[in-house]
Amino acid sequence: MNITGIVYRPPYEANSLLLQVTLGCSHNKCTFCYMYPNVPFTVCPMKQIEADIEEAARVCPNVERVFLEHGDAFVLSADRLSQIAEAIHRKLPKVKTIAMYASIQNIKQKTDSELRRLCDLGIGGLDIGVESGLDAALTYMNKGHTAKEAREQLLRLTKAGITYSFNAILGCGGAELWQENADATAALINAVQPHLLFIGTLHAQPGCKLYEDMKSGIFKECTVGQLLDEQERLISLLELEDTIYFGSHPSNIVSMQAALPKHKEEMLEVVRETRKSLQDRLDEYPVRGGEGSILNR
């Protein structure tokens, strides 16, 4: 089975079958994104998808979860997604969930009944880069949605029965708006009560606008201390009923996985302990390697 271009997938999709249905990202203009430079967005022909499913049925017939590639496969019409899901279930009968990256705009383009139909076909576990609840940050990051739209569309997903991961980025508001970013993002997360909260930290690599803006000072990055303060503030404001906190992205200063609300106090303690251990480096900026990994942790 061939996949064209660099393959990105969420860490928790490590055991899923990766099936390419699109190439690139239909939006492809987030300020911080370096995933698909110069990759024109393309929808894969159904024949190719069916051939890949046939091959998967020979190679891994017992697979239970499929992750559709690339950057926002949920952009496909409900009819095309239904066609793909039906083809998967025909050849891979043990598949329970068909997950993929999705944007807020992708959800907006589908009706309630289409969302319910997709849920009935096993589509769920969407991985959604909401990034922030602060409109100023969303505008600068060029996400293509507002906080209000994110709230409305995520609630529609939940109503349709589709589960998802709410991806948020610490540091999205920069050094000037880290408190506002924590407050607004916590308020949005509380309003939608995601099943999974995936936390990363803002970083930039050559090839994206943010990298140039950080270099020229147009965007002021958070210091180590500000990132820890933002994370503590965000966690302390979360009022969640039953959410998995997945914070093991290499870009995070504090790497942790926990359940909320159960582990809230322990999580806050871990952030405070980390701040103490980094006391003489709080004014530094994180030194980063590949995928934003922190080298001066």
Question: CB–CB of 127/167 below 8 Å?
Answer: yes
| Selected binder of ligand SF4 within 1, 5, 28, 244 (CB under 6 A) | 28
Closest CB to ligand SF4 among residues 131, 229: 131
What the block records as the tokens of 63 is 């697979």
The total of other beta-carbon atoms located within 10 Å of residue 189's CB is 23
Stretch that binds ligand SF4, among 24-32, 85-93, 116-124, 247-255 (CB under 6 A): 24-32
| Of 26-34, 91-99, 178-186, 238-246: span binding ligand SF4 (CB under 6 A) | 26-34
**Residue 158 in contact with ligand SF4, rule: CB under 6 A:** no
Structure tokens at 263: 């582990």
Q: Which stretch binds ligand SF4 (CB under 6 A): 25-33, 151-159, 226-234, 289-297?
A: 25-33
- Least distance from ligand SF4 to the Cβ atom of residue 43, Å: 15
User: Which two tokens mark 110?
Assistant: 């589908």
Identify which of residues 28 and 205 has a Cβ nearer to ligand SF4 in the complex. 28
- Over the window 47 to 76, marking each residue x when it contacts ligand SF4 by CB under 6 A and - when it does not, the resulting string is ------------------------xx----
- Reduced to 3 states (helix: H, G, I; strand: E, B; else coil), residue 75 is helix
Contact 4, 19 (CB under 8 A): no
11 upstream amide cis, omega within 30 of 0: no
Q: Are 190 and 238 in contact (CB under 8 A)?
A: yes
Question: Is 35 among the residues that bind ligand SF4 (CB under 6 A)?
Answer: yes
Which residue's structure tokens are 């530094």?
284
Which amino acid is present at 219?
F
- Backbone Cα Rg of the chain: 19
Q: How far apart are CA 18 and CA 290, in angstroms?
A: 22
Chain centroid to CA 293: how far? Answer: 17
When the beta carbons of 125 and 129 are compared against ligand SF4, the nearer one is 129
| Shortest distance (Å) from residue 103 CB to ligand SF4 | 5
- Contacts with ligand SF4 by CB under 6 A: the residue count is 11
SS3 content of the chain, % helix, strand, coil (to 5): 40, 15, 40
129 scored as a contact of ligand SF4 (CB under 6 A): yes
Contact 84, 21 (CB under 8 A): yes
Q: How far is the CB of 166 from ligand SF4 (least distance, A)?
A: 14
Q: Which is nearer to ligand SF4, 124 or 129 (CB)?
A: 129
Smallest gap, in angstroms, from Cβ of residue 101 to ligand SF4? 7
Per CB under 6 A, does 33 bind ligand SF4?
yes
Please choose, out of 23-31, 56-64, 112-120, 229-237, the segment that lies near ligand SF4 by the rule CB under 6 A.
23-31
Contact set with ligand SF4 (CB under 6 A): 25, 27-30, 33, 35, 71-72, 103, 129
